[in-house]
Amino acid sequence: MHSLIAFATQWGSKFGGINAFNTDFLSAFGVAYPTQLKVICIVSSATEAEIADAKNANVTLVTLPYPPSDKLFTEQQANTAIDELTKQGIPLTPDLTIWLGHDRISGRAALQAVKKFGGRSALIHHMSYEAYEAYAEDSHSAHSKSTEQRTLFEQADLCLAVGPSLHSALCDLIDVKSEQVHHIIPGLAEIDPRKNTPQKFNAFISGRLSDDAARIKQAHLGIAAFATAIEQAQNNQAPEKLINQPKLVLRGVDFESRLDYKQSQSTNPELELLQFSESYANQIITLHALPYTQDRTALYSDLKSASAAMMPSWHEGFGLVAWEAIAACVPLIVSTQSGVYQLLKQQGLEGFVYPIQVRGKTVTPFFHDDDLANLTKAVIHIATNVDAAKQKSQLLKTNLAAYTWSACVEEVAKECFKWNIEKGSPKLETATAQPPQLANPRQPLGESPLTLPVKQWRSDLGYAESQMLRADFALVPFDPGRQTDLDTLNTWLDNQDGNDYPIKTRLLTGAGGLGKTRLAIELCQQRMNSGWHCGFLNREDSEQSWAKLKALQKPLLIVIDYAETRQETLLNLLKAQLEADYPHTVRLLLLARGGGEWWDQLPSKDAECEALLNGYATSGPYVLPELYLDQDSRQQAYRNALAAYAIATGRQIPSGIPNLSGEHFAKPLYLQMAALLALYGERPITALGLTQSLLNHERRYWQETLKELGLINPQQQAQDLLALTTLSNGFKTPKQAYEYYAKANPGLISQPVFNQLFNQLELLYPGTQGLQSIQPDILGEALVAQSLQLTTGMDLLNVVLGKSAEKTVQHHALTVLARLSLHAPELDSVLMRAIQNNFVACCLELVDVAVQTHSRLPELAQLAFQLLTPQQKSQAAVLLEKRFEHESICLAELAYEMAFFIKEKSAHRLQKKPTDIQLLSKHAADLRSLAVDASRLGIAIDAVNFGGQALQIFKQLRQRDQVQFEPDYALSLSNYASHLSDLGRNDEAADYTQQALVIHERLAQQRPDRFEPNYATSLNNYANCLSDLGRNDEAADYAQQALAKRERLAQQRPDRFEPGYANSLNNYANLLSDLGRNDEAADYAQQALAIHERLAQQRPDRFEPDYALSLSNYA
């Protein structure tokens, strides 16, 4: 077994960046090579918690019996360490051992260990004294320390350096070629960035902010620039972010060296910094001076809350502070004299940060006027458009996603140490990979359109290992923690919920990764054992589906996954069932990410299904709860998944458990991701880190699988195709896929070569036919997100959203983009431009998806619509006219934008023909619609303005043709009254409502089938107006009349009118209560409560607020 033994003063982040680097570096080695490598760290001292933390990462801490006299580890510590290793009985093989030292801090100890025990020495270069020590201290110190470094590194067997600047410096220091020094790029810190930009501007500086570091770290430059930016902003009244109490957080202020500051205010470092900032801002600013912290959670919380991070160092060998800011997706102002900046420049990424050159000065406060001007300008630049700056920082992190600690140590092990060991848990020589069997994996009968998962992951079939995470492969045993949810569904299936209907439908919702599909699979498998016919409905024609299912003559459980996107399929299936006389129970279980407007609107989409979907036979949405809410349950679920994947792959189970405290680990999929990655020597803990690590793992599969095709960039071409496939919901044939791929990448590869690419990837990602979307969905969405941030991203979107794309492709692509919009704000710009480019082509699918999927798609669509040409707006308005007839909360702003454009267009046409009756009535209707849209947005003044204009026009038209225009006039009266009421103009509202009531009464007498509901509504509206005016006796009389009419309507059509009847009961009860008729009020309130309770049980998302109101009223 190989051994890696490092010398470090402490474990963790005590005493600065080198120890933090050492901890991350050794932990990554321990996790990556759990059985092939023994990782040991010699430290001055360690707490029990530090020893346990290291052990969890497969690192053994060995403490010295006494600490060194200074901060440096010397030959003495090396000799003592070897004695301690011998004393503790830790076996080592000299030829397989590497002794690791960190520059001059512990380099001498590593060299001495080789001399005494054997093995090889490896020294890591962390600081270039030649570059900064003369300025920081003096020339003698610089020369002395550089000479010591040269002596150490010339003796080392292996030389490593952190980042490009230190790599070049070390090559010059010891006069060797570039390839003789191994280049280390640290892994990005595991930080889950904030999704939203902070409302208040908050700048952040961290590091060793002590007096002895003032010249190099330039913290005072950061303070002065922030203060100056505030003063300039106030003088110029812009940017607003720097006027509205911005804050500067300093993390790492040296309080310890001035322990007497509380007694002597003159030595209080916080007061000194505040006074210093005041001298530049000409005012007191909000400045938080905080001490250095070893708690990375606290540090990262401060960092990711920042609007901007500054690292204005005069010199920085690498710059872990800046590297952490990049990991946190915080806009970064960085010195060009840093290793981080040099790395970004080498990769062409310097445009994603805000670089400044720091000249410095020899006298306090050690910065030049130009430095102050440049840094101030950078702060103002970020504050002027914080969203754009945030988006740049998010894109930068995506471009650097390959820099993980796992990748770092793997490269060091192979390229520098030349170890021939494989990362991850080793294969068991005596074991044969056996995938866990599904519980009763039974094929559906005959030609059934229902399917149940029968495919199982097998290592010998060449599947990508990410496919083990698929719910339909069911490798991880069903978690008994879901038994309560399973019992609830069984109660529903067996009519034990008190609702005995032959056909029942239930909607089960939950976020991706919660286990909806896995729960449905388990339910189906159990029911098949009880004689039911169960499974997931495929995508063939639903009428044919029902014909096949009806022939089975068994109780049926039909699961429809992604139900929000398959509404037409559901409605067709329900209609076929309703028309048939089927003697057995039928249950439809719908799975979706969420309920919302699509579910509320579904009954109105088909008259034949409306009664069923609005009635008590339909229930939901029921939200599937998170499964793992405590650490014990998470750790047990992690172990279960780890064991299942180890059996499936024939690997040894690695020791240790990652930090599972993140909120995302409440979902089963993320725990399973962590378990799978642990088998391959990786231990990311953030949601983003997990998906990125899995995708990095997938890329290795692509590289290996496609190496024979001779492609120029196989990984990128595979990623483009798989992203396109995921957006399109799969391609059945290479020909179909090539039609899309060639448009996005014209002339890149020929179709014969593309066919080979397609066929090879098809083997990795199995499906029913062709190349499937990447599963699980969360992984596929992460792949799409990465792909869209590349230069080809817009080309991919134009292809799947453009006019030549099939509607089903547009719909699925928009569904994926809608989900991404919630947690990938870095995509806002590319998504908005893609929607703008293809608005007319995809607007019908766009509004459907916006209603189906909770997202930021409506917001992006509204912004895109504003940027369209008048001709494009006109085309879109014609296409979407009928889609906006019914109220949609999520589309309200887009509807208003479009209604305003339509109003302006009809006004322009009317100017040319002012006497045209049809144009006049069209303009009035447009004004009325615009008023309603304004009211929905809470713009009451606009609603009254536009509604009043519409009313006057319809009044004129009614005088010309009463029969044709009286219904429009009555509707306009009602609407205008409502708008007046919103402004508190209740007397006027009552007058207009009364006028509408008189007309609706007459119309209802003439055409009761058409106008009776309108009359009932007018009665109810007038009762409310009278109540607002305190005329309660009259209000009660009209409310009673409304109640009587709505009761009759509810008896005729309960599915349509019962909610309105319940509201009238409540309304009448309230009015009776106001009159002191409490006994009668309680009776009517109780009737309303009974109806709302029943409705809320069936449709909690829609009726629970009404039920809550009824409970309150009855109480």
pLDDT in tens, 195-205: 888 999 999 99
The token duo for 271 is 């007061």
CB 645 within 8 A of CB 679: yes
Residues whose CB is less than 8 angstroms from the CB of residue 213 and which lie 6 or more positions away in sequence, other chains included: 136, 207, 219
Phi-psi region of 245 (alpha: psi -120 to 50; beta: other; left: phi over 0): left
Q: Please tell me whether residues 173 and 273 are part of one structural domain.
A: no
Kind of pairing between the strands at 97-102 and 2-7: parallel
Residue 999's alpha-carbon distances to 149, 962, 974, in angstroms, are 97, 11, 11
Pairwise pLDDT comparison (836 vs 767), residue with the higher score: 836
Q: Please tell me whether residues 123 and 244 are part of one structural domain.
A: no
Q: Please tell me whether residues 38 and 169 are part of one structural domain.
A: yes
In percent, the amount of the chain with pLDDT more than 70 equals: 96
Residue spans of alpha helices (H) in 57-161: 75-87, 103-117, 129-136, 139-155
In a domain, 696, yes or no: no
Q: Using alpha carbons only, what angle is made at residue 621 by residues 618 and 622, rounded to the nearest 5 degrees?
A: 110
Number of domains in the chain: 5
Per 3-state DSSP, the chain is made up of helix, strand and coil in percentages (nearest 5) of 60, 10, 30
Residue 170's alpha-carbon distances to 154, 160, 179, 992, 1083, in angstroms, are 10, 9, 12, 86, 88
Position 488, amino acid: T
Among 402, 437, 456, identify where a domain stops.
Answer: 402
Work out the pLDDT band at 261, boundaries 50, 70, 90.
Answer: very low
Work out the pLDDT band at 890, boundaries 50, 70, 90.
Answer: confident
Work out the pLDDT band at 541, boundaries 50, 70, 90.
Answer: low
> What mean pLDDT comes out for the span 54-58?
96
pLDDT in tens, 311-351: 999 999 999 999 999 999 999 999 999 999 999 999 999 99
Query: Does residue 621 have a cis bond before it (omega within 30 degrees)?
Result: yes
Among candidates 1073, 1051, 1071, 1072, which has minimal Cα distance to 1061?
1051
Among candidates 618, 615, 610, 614, which has minimal Cα distance to 590?
618
Lay out the sheet containing 450-451: strands in order across: 450-451, 533-537, 556-560, 586-592, 503-509, 618-623
Q: Is the pLDDT of residue 846 over 60?
A: yes
Q: Residue-wise over 518-539: b if at least 16 C-beta within 10 A, else e?
A: bbbbbbbbbbbeeebbbbbbee
CB 921 within 8 A of CB 965: yes
Q: Please tell me whether residues 279 and 158 are part of one structural domain.
A: no
> What mean pLDDT comes out for the span 972-983?
92
Q: Is the pLDDT of residue 436 over 70?
A: no
Ramachandran angles phi, psi of 1092, nearest 5°? -65, -35
Q: Is the pLDDT of residue 240 over 50?
A: yes
Q: Please tell me whether residues 137 and 211 are part of one structural domain.
A: no
What is the torsional sign of CA 405, 406, 409, 415?
A: negative
CA atoms of 15 and 578, how far apart (whole Å): 74
Q: Please tell me whether residues 139 and 19 are part of one structural domain.
A: yes
According to the model, what pLDDT value does residue 455 have? Answer: 56
Residues whose CB is less than 8 angstroms from the CB of residue 83 and which lie 6 or more positions away in sequence, other chains included: none
Q: Using alpha carbons only, what angle is made at residue 874 by residues 871 and 876, rounded to the nearest 5 degrees?
A: 110
Query: Does residue 480 have a cis bond before it (omega within 30 degrees)?
Result: no
In percent, the amount of the chain with pLDDT more than 90 equals: 69
CB 314 within 8 A of CB 218: yes
Work out the pLDDT band at 257, boundaries 50, 70, 90.
Answer: low
The domain that holds 1041 is classified in CATH as: 1.25.40.10
According to the model, what pLDDT value does residue 442 have? Answer: 40
Residues whose CB is less than 8 angstroms from the CB of residue 733 and which lie 6 or more positions away in sequence, other chains included: 770
Q: Please tell me whether residues 847 and 783 are part of one structural domain.
A: yes
CB 1098 within 8 A of CB 615: yes
Q: At what angle do helices 751-764 and 714-728 cross, to 10 degrees?
A: 70
How crowded is the C-beta side of 23, counted as CA atoms within 13 Å? 23
pLDDT in tens, 464-511: 889 999 998 888 999 999 999 999 999 999 987 666 788 999 999 999
Residues whose CB is less than 8 angstroms from the CB of residue 603 and which lie 6 or more positions away in sequence, other chains included: 609, 610, 613, 614, 1055
Q: Please tell me whether residues 101 and 133 are part of one structural domain.
A: yes
* Domain of residue 1056, residue span: 996-1114
Among 402, 423, 442, identify where a domain stops.
Answer: 402
pLDDT in tens, 221-231: 999 999 999 99
Pairwise pLDDT comparison (1080 vs 953), residue with the higher score: 953
The domain that holds 174 is classified in CATH as: 3.40.50.2000
CA atoms of 133 and 215, how far apart (whole Å): 10
In a domain, 98, yes or no: yes
CA atoms of 307 and 290, how far apart (whole Å): 18
Q: What is the mean pLDDT of the chain?
A: 91
In a domain, 305, yes or no: yes
Residues whose CB is less than 8 angstroms from the CB of residue 743 and which lie 6 or more positions away in sequence, other chains included: 795, 799, 802, 804
pLDDT in tens, 919-943: 999 999 999 999 999 998 999 999 9
In a domain, 670, yes or no: no
pLDDT in tens, 127-158: 999 999 989 899 999 999 999 999 999 999 99
Among candidates 776, 774, 561, which has minimal Cα distance to 668?
776
The token duo for 319 is 């710059």
Q: What is the DSSP letter of 416?
A: I
CA atoms of 276 and 289, how far apart (whole Å): 13
In a domain, 1030, yes or no: yes
According to the model, what pLDDT value does residue 57 have? Answer: 96
- Tracing tokens 């391959």 back to the chain, one arrives at 680
CA atoms of 865 and 836, how far apart (whole Å): 7
According to the model, what pLDDT value does residue 441 have? Answer: 38
According to the model, what pLDDT value does residue 30 have? Answer: 97
Among 375, 402, 429, identify where a domain stops.
Answer: 402
Phi-psi region of 695 (alpha: psi -120 to 50; beta: other; left: phi over 0): alpha
CA atoms of 683 and 662, how far apart (whole Å): 13
Q: Please tell me whether residues 112 and 211 are part of one structural domain.
A: no
Q: Please tell me whether residues 165 and 215 are part of one structural domain.
A: no
Q: Using a cut of 0.85, tell me whether the model's pTM lies above it.
A: yes
According to the model, what pLDDT value does residue 505 have? Answer: 95
Collapsing DSSP states into helix, strand and coil, what is residue 522?
helix
In a domain, 153, yes or no: yes
CA atoms of 579 and 585, how far apart (whole Å): 15
CB 209 within 8 A of CB 221: no
Residues whose CB is less than 8 angstroms from the CB of residue 879 and which lie 6 or more positions away in sequence, other chains included: 840, 843, 844
Q: Please tell me whether residues 255 and 395 are part of one structural domain.
A: yes
Q: Please tell me whether residues 40 and 179 are part of one structural domain.
A: yes
In a domain, 870, yes or no: no
Report DSSP letters for 919-940, one per residue: HHHHHHHHHHHHHHHHHHTT-H
In a domain, 340, yes or no: yes
The token duo for 171 is 């090559």
Among candidates 170, 169, 173, 167, which has minimal Cα distance to 185?
167
CA atoms of 272 and 437, how far apart (whole Å): 69
